[in-house]
Structure 1
Amino acid sequence: MKHIRNLRSAWPALGLASTLTVCMFSGAAFAQVQDLGAVGDAPELLDVPSTTATSTTPIVKAAPMVGAVDLGQNMHDSNAGLPVAAPVVGVARKAAMEAEQSATVPMATRKKVKNAALPVYRDGVERAVFARLPVRVGLPVKRERLITLPSPAVLHVPSDIEAVARVEAIDRTIYVTALVPFAPIRIVAELIDGGQQIPLDLVANTQTSAASQELEVFIETARDTQDAAQTASSSTPETPAADMVDLTRFASRMLYAPRRLAVGQPGVSQVQVSNQPVVGLVRGALVETVPMGQWRSAGLYVTAVRITNKSKQPLEISLDSLRGKWLAVTAQHGRLGAAGSEADTSALYLICDRAFDACL
């Protein structure tokens, strides 16, 4: 009993000693955890067993980790912290990015404009002469500009040009609308007559907002070259007339080819024709025939006629059953589908030595 009384009297001192021991252990452990800034390879992480001792220091519960967290283990790695390589962009999109980055006006001096007016064109037509160097074409943003070439041309443009501009070629005129500002983009206009190529550098920024509505491009020709060309043209005969095969191909191209390829042909001129349906052009067939166009070369006429099957049964086109005095008849498709199907319409090409109405 005496020993028990002595133990009870010493119990507060033992509790104080154990508390000091736990605090000293916690302080040492805290110092070890905080010392992560040492130079050299990071130490391996060890699984420290949990302890049941209660510390007087309040414990803050860490937030759950979402994804990988860089604790500085790879601070000596040359690739650490570098951004992932950006995907490859097209020519047009890259030009738009360059134009956006070239805006070097500081944000502090940039003024906020309210109800900013759209760019206004200068009156008149701008003219440029192509002499080997590319022709610079300034474009106002969201305003269409016309580029007139010496002759009809086929355009060669970047595959992603639609991301920054709308480009369309009709005959010898190019219609261009800049959708966003962009750095210079090279397109090439290849003239159909002769195959000469004219490089055009399109650009849209604040300096080009007042560009004229139309730009006319000329080709520089030396005086002696012009004289030689005139002498050669006067001594050589006129362009030979197109034959029946050429006329038929030309008429088919005008109906079915893309608009950029449906251009004129030297020696072939268009002749006016009525677009009213012709009744009874194909004998014994329930079809509708409508002239779509007529062209002439020397003494030959070709007429493109649209033919549509109105019967519920497919139809084989019999060229011998056509009414009229034709030198040659060609069908785009020899068979028509039933009325209402996708194949119920085709074209006929009729060649005569007179106009269409005179050959019926």
Structure 2
Amino acid sequence: MSRVSFGRWLGWVSLLLFSVGTQADELMTWERIPLSISLNVGQERIIFADRNVRVGLPPSLSDKLRVQSAGGAVYLKANNTFPSTRLHLQDSENGEIILLDITAAKTGPTEPVRIIYSDEKHAASKEEPQRQRKTELSAPVPVALTRYAAQQLYAPLRTVEPVAGIQPVNLHLPPSITTLYPSEPIAITPLSGWRSHPHTVIALKLRNTAKRTIPLDPRGLQGQFVAATFQHRWLGETGSPEDTTVLYLVTKVPLDNTFIPEPASVKPGGRHGG
């Protein structure tokens, strides 16, 4: 994927991930009974599968439903109404099929759906032979996590092999982080995360907001992390195809403690001091 197209792709991914950040998830338990999902035409709805899945889309919905999948989440947007139609989510690691009955109407829920798995222990025992066929870590964990995250964002998904011990995580971070790189005019947005205990890698979108080129220096970063890697060494001026890149941070502390807390906002008309 080119840097230009990746920058555009990051734009809609970041909007999708955080446009519903204040809504509560609707929990649905997968018990081998198809899950009924309602869509509101024209509104994006996110399905958190918490697994890397491939989506099987019937031809009848090819021009009615937009489907995208990344980092254990599936993004659905209906362009037109349609009756209940079955989608297949296939776990890319163990081949398990999760069935969704999708319907779209002019009004409907928009909050994210989180799939809960009722038989995780049984599933884990069935997956063990598959785990033996996964790619093993061939580098220190921070290096392996960073490489895996970069592949998830930049490489075609069909070329990304599952790696034993690496799982997607839900970040639950603020939609904008201003304390990480305070010395430069860079807008920073969390994208996705993956974990290999006890390490977690966080992928963040960096966008230049200034009319000048910015060289990227990890020494300017503030927070608690063990490794930091920029996808590119510099950012072009705002509005250029090169104004966006990704930063990978590897941490061993809880995600809430990785970043310096955001400053408290001052309400209009508020008083300062005593």
- TM-score by structure 1 length? 0.36
- TM-score by structure 2 length? 0.44
User: Whose strand proportion is higher, 1 or 2?
Assistant: 2
Structure number, greater radius of gyration? 1
